[in-house]
Amino acid sequence: MRVGFIGVGNMGGPMASNVLKAGFDLRVHDVRADVAAKLAAEGAEVGATPADVAADADVVDIVVMDGAQVEAVTLGDAGVLSSARPGTVIAVHSTVHPSTVRRVADAAAPRGVDVIDAPISGGVVGATAGTLCVMVGGDAAAFERARPVFDACGALVLHLGPLGAGLGAKLARNLIGYVSMLGAQEGVALADRAGVDHERMLQICEHTGVLSWQMRELLNVRGPHPTYGDDLGPLVELSAKDMRAALALAADVGIELPAGQLTLDRIRYTVVPPDAPTNEGGHG
């Protein structure tokens, strides 16, 4: 099977590396030549454009930042749909509003190309270890064709229903995580102020099931992050982007999420402790 990866940064890079290790023929593209070069050193081919990656691929995995980038790499002049063959599966792993994948799917359908949403959860640790959760929405037959690739990246791979179902699950999962993190951040701050040892409080929260390993990792950021370094702006903006998408989906389906809105309003302090260094300019 021929696999293409578009976007091989913090998440896409280790995912693509695991696909390569699983024995698939791999071609990658990223606007940053240095990250693509790392995979080339492992044996992947490098395409100059998304169209180059898709030209002879059976499955094309999209791991870019946001909806605008998803549409650019799929619908643009040198995008995936300009060269993808009938029967190709485009798997959008980016956390975006479901309307984004529906626009791509509408454009792909006349060409006989299948689009599925396959957002991922597990962070860079999970991407590196190949233990991601992959939540998939779309045609069941297309899912089965792409599943061997997903199995190389994840330990929990689920087909959840029609197009958009995967993103519904991912946005709901992130909503739960970030709202919980707001409570965890405030609770830990209260314990700190009350004189409780910070590390022991985190140990208590973990043992009693109110703190996941991902929350612990983020709540412990007191300096450079292992992935983002000194500039935590991208991490904060990713969190805010996901919460905005969750709230937009909630509006679409007619449900109010007051705790979600409060969490978005407070997300800088939810993700980045007040005494941690940040780049106020952020990163899109």
Task: Give yes or no for a contact between 101 and 163, defined as CB atoms under 8 angstroms apart.
Answer: yes
E runs forming strands in 75-218:
89-92, 114-117, 120-121, 132-137, 154-161
Q: For residue 92, list its beta bridge partners.
A: 62, 117
Task: Give yes or no for a contact between 5 and 26, defined as CB atoms under 8 angstroms apart.
Answer: yes
Give the distance between the most distant pair of CA atoms in the chain: 64
Q: What are phi and psi of 2, to 5 degrees?
A: -100, 125
Q: For residue 2, list its beta bridge partners.
A: 25
Q: What angle do CA 90, 241, 162 make, to 5 degrees?
A: 35
Is residue 38 part of the annotated active site? The answer reads no
Q: Which residue has the tokens 């006989």?
A: 112
- How far apart, in Å, do the first and last CA atoms of the chain sit? 34
Identify the active-site residue in 21, 38, 170, 241.
170
Cα distances (angstroms) measured from residue 53 to each of 33, 41, 106, 199? 14, 17, 21, 46
CB atoms within 10 A of CB 65: 18
Alpha-carbon dihedral 35, 267, 156, 84, rounded to 10 degrees: -50
Which residues touch 253 (CB under 8 Å, ≥6 apart)?
none
Task: Give yes or no for a contact between 259 and 267, defined as CB atoms under 8 angstroms apart.
Answer: no
Active-site positions read: 170
